[in-house]
Amino acid sequence: MGEFVRVETAGGVATIRLDRPKMNALNGQVQDELAEAARAVSGDEGVRAAVLYGGERVFAAGADIKEMAEMSYAEMAVRSGRLQDFTRALAAIPKPVIAAITGYALGGGLEVALTADFRVAGEKAQVGQPEIGLGIIPGAGGTQRLARLIGVAKAKDLIYSGRFVKADEALALGLVDRVVADDSVYTEAVAWARTFVNGPALALAAAKKAIDAGIEVDLETGLEIERLQFSGLFATDDRAAGMRGFVEEGPGKAKFTGR
């Protein structure tokens, strides 16, 4: 798809693959290509789940500091919107997304991983938001998504200190969901993604929307978001197939078409 980001699809699972040697630094071009990849995966009806992957050695070591080092406030005031746009596009993929983390996922790299629904990390992986050491803070969603995922105090600890977090601690914090052998990270993520391929795509999208939008608002508003997503599914073929299959054959027998 792009020079540094490509989309590979097999069996209903799309892999959004970062490939910018040596450390997948997220310069402007990579950010734009990630946004383009996210839109392509979102619009492809043949894709039912996706994996974010940086390769066997590293997920992504962060933003391209050389590119940002000489930017003025005026330049960054404009550029910062673009910086968040690509992570918004990834987070908005209306399908289950799993980040497969090998090596380092630091700064912008962790912010990319935070856009996923789930994170699988290798035993030697390290994650963190080290921007404070550069005299800045995370700018692609890190202060917001990290706090929502692991809680305010724990997010402040990681962001204020800028420290690297090893896989076992990341698991304990809830920052990653599974830790596996380094050479099994991608296969584990793909296997997990495949569990969603034959599921009801519209219901999965509705669940993601209800949870992600609902967590941003008060309970009553969240309940209304849930109600609308729930009732809307009664216009789908999958809802009819799911309920008919349950009544006639029992749970887990329905075949879904994504319609």
Q: What span, in angstroms and rounded, lies between the C-alpha atoms of 26 and 202?
A: 32
- Name 26's bridge partners: 63
Angle (deg, nearest 10), helices 201-214 and 237-249: 110
Q: What span, in angstroms and rounded, lies between the C-alpha atoms of 109 and 127?
A: 8
Q: Which residue in 36, 56, 70, 131 is the catalytic one?
A: 131
Is 169 catalytic? The answer is no
Q: Which residue in 111, 123, 188, 249 is the catalytic one?
A: 111
Coil, helix or strand at residue 26 = strand
Tokens of 173: 């914090």
The DSSP call for residue 100 is: E
Is 131 catalytic? The answer is yes
Q: What span, in angstroms and rounded, lies between the C-alpha atoms of 223 and 17?
A: 36
Please identify every residue annotated as catalytic. 111, 131
